Structure 1
Amino acid sequence: MTGPPDSADPVDPIELVDLVDLWVIPTDQPDAVVEALGALLDPGERARAAGPDEATGRRFTVVHGVVRLLVAERLGVHPAELAWRRGPHGKPEPAGEGHTLGVSYSASGALAVLALADGRPVGADVEEVRDPRVAARIANRYFPGAEAASLAESSSPEVLAERFTELWCRREACVKAFGGRLVQGFGLPLAGPAPLVLTGAGALGDGPCRIADAPVPGPFRAAVAAVGDRPFRLRLQCWEAPSFIMSRT
């Protein structure tokens, strides 16, 4: 006699979960590291890095240089040869055929994150915790009414700022996963414990979309979103300058 359908042999749940690599990148690096990473940038990136604010330019160089290193390693190409194509609203993806690597990166002050996912679009965002007064104004203007009201009931300004930043990161990550515009994500219902599943993403596109919070150090919050129904787990890694760069210091 055969048993009911739910009595089938168990399946390892790990096999049913996608893996998303999330690299945490400290953006304040020694001169030698900044110089080595700067040599990997394309002319447009170098022009942006050479702006009037030196500190901002250094951090830009680190973020884009490390992204080139890690994405190129994943694709098996030289970092300096990596080319990007841009979506309608500027989302970067590696140019070329024959790969299905989803890429998304974000930077805020001294920290950046890079998400890599095989076979599905991904979005990542990191933000330094906002000033409570700024957070309250933005939430009241742009967030769904229930979310704004819940934030207003926070036990302290510090808690309000942390919860707001968490919701903002989720919103940005979802928008980036779909390659849309931020205004399209303001109405998404993103409160509640993570991970979350959106069955539809409104103006951004057809769902579903899965969203997870990511633990990052310091006064920052981060989130990752991936388009599709399959659950995913995050593999967090902290980037450190390779020995070939550090040997130059």
Structure 2
Amino acid sequence: MGEWGVEAVGCERAARVWWARLDPPWEVAAQMEAVLAPEEWARVRRMPEEAGRRFVVRRGALRHLLAEWSGASPAALRFCYGPQGKPALAPPWSSSGLRFSVADSGEVAVFAVAQGVEVGVDVEAPRALPDALALAERFLSLEEAAWVRAQPAPQQGRAFLRCWTCKEAVLKARGDGLRGGLADFTAAHWETPPRIIWSEPSPTHDWTIHTFRLAQDHLVALASMQTWQKAF
């Protein structure tokens, strides 16, 4: 299925994370193209060429992963979407209990799959952010912005991206998207263990976050409704 670089495995009802390049060799891209549904190709035709290429590889890889977990054919799977656009498996495959999340940055995509628990994943490619402090004060909670400010100046851009991936992962896991309120919670990834601090009582107080870095230096965050551990 192309280049899969990292896998994170928990215990019971595990959440697993894979990564893949979005510019694979042509023979791998052909495998991804072969499993897309007609409605997905219609979506591709509405996209700019580069965005369409990335979507084909990302969606094809997701189909292959979900097929491995569900026992279905990659091409047979169908998707539905929540009010804020969160994708899920449509019936009859929804009965499998599989939950998943996808993100990409640059030429890297990450995929999280879990059994019976909601998950969210985000990834950010390394890049310079000279306005990291201004971004932190605008988009992060007071605690997160203070943590970014406390880092040495050369590391503040990376610190902001770390906070951002954690917040995105939580919002994606909950199905809220960015409309869910970036300032409504603090993703205290610097604590041991990392935890979510809500500004108001939340019914999903048991969300956990985990962070790691890919070999290409991309920052990845996973949010799920259970404690899990790395196995790589």
TM-score bucket of the superposed structures, by smaller chain: 0.7 to 0.9
Q: 1:206 to 1:66 in 2, by over 3 A?
A: same
TM-score for both structures, normalised by structure 2? 0.84
1:126 is paired with a residue whose SS is strand
Q: 1:74 to 1:66 in 2, by over 3 A?
A: same
| Structure 2, unpaired ranges of 5+ | 1-8
Distance in 2 separating the partners of 1:199 and 1:147 = 11
> Are 2:171 and 1:171 aligned?
no
Is the contact between residue 104 and residue 123 of structure 1 (CA under 8 Å) also seen in structure 2?
A: yes
Matches within 5 A, 1:152-231: 152-157=149-154, 159-187=155-183, 188-191=185-188, 192-193=190-191, 195-198=193-196, 200=198, 202=200, 205-227=203-225, 230-231=226-227
Deviation for aligned residue 1:194: 5.7
1:98-119 per-residue CA deviation (whole Å, 9 max, x = no partner) reads 2211111111111111111112
Match of 1:110 among 107, 110, 125: 107
Distance in 2 separating the partners of 1:203 and 1:61 = 40
Is the contact between residue 10 and residue 231 of structure 2 (CA under 8 Å) also seen in structure 1?
A: no
Flag the structure with more relative contact order, 1 or 2, with Cα contacts below 8 A and sequence separation at least 6.
1
> Are 2:43 and 1:48 aligned?
yes
Distance in 1 separating the partners of 2:186 and 2:70 = 35
- The residue identity in structure 1 corresponding to 2:87 is P
Residue 75 of structure 1 is matched in structure 2 by 70
Percent identity between the two aligned chains = 30
| Structure 1, unpaired ranges of 5+ | 1-13, 237-249
Deviation for aligned residue 1:87: 1.1
Is the contact between residue 178 and residue 204 of structure 1 (CA under 8 Å) also seen in structure 2?
A: no
Residue 5 of structure 2 is matched in structure 1 by none
TM-score for both structures, normalised by structure 1? 0.78
Structure showing greater radius of gyration is 1
Is the contact between residue 200 and residue 208 of structure 1 (CA under 8 Å) also seen in structure 2?
A: no
1:233 is paired with a residue whose SS is coil
Is the contact between residue 197 and residue 210 of structure 1 (CA under 8 Å) also seen in structure 2?
A: yes
Most deviating of 64-73 and 204-213: 204-213
Matches within 5 A, 1:90-105: 90-96=85-91, 97-105=94-102
Superposed CA RMSD in Å reads 2.5
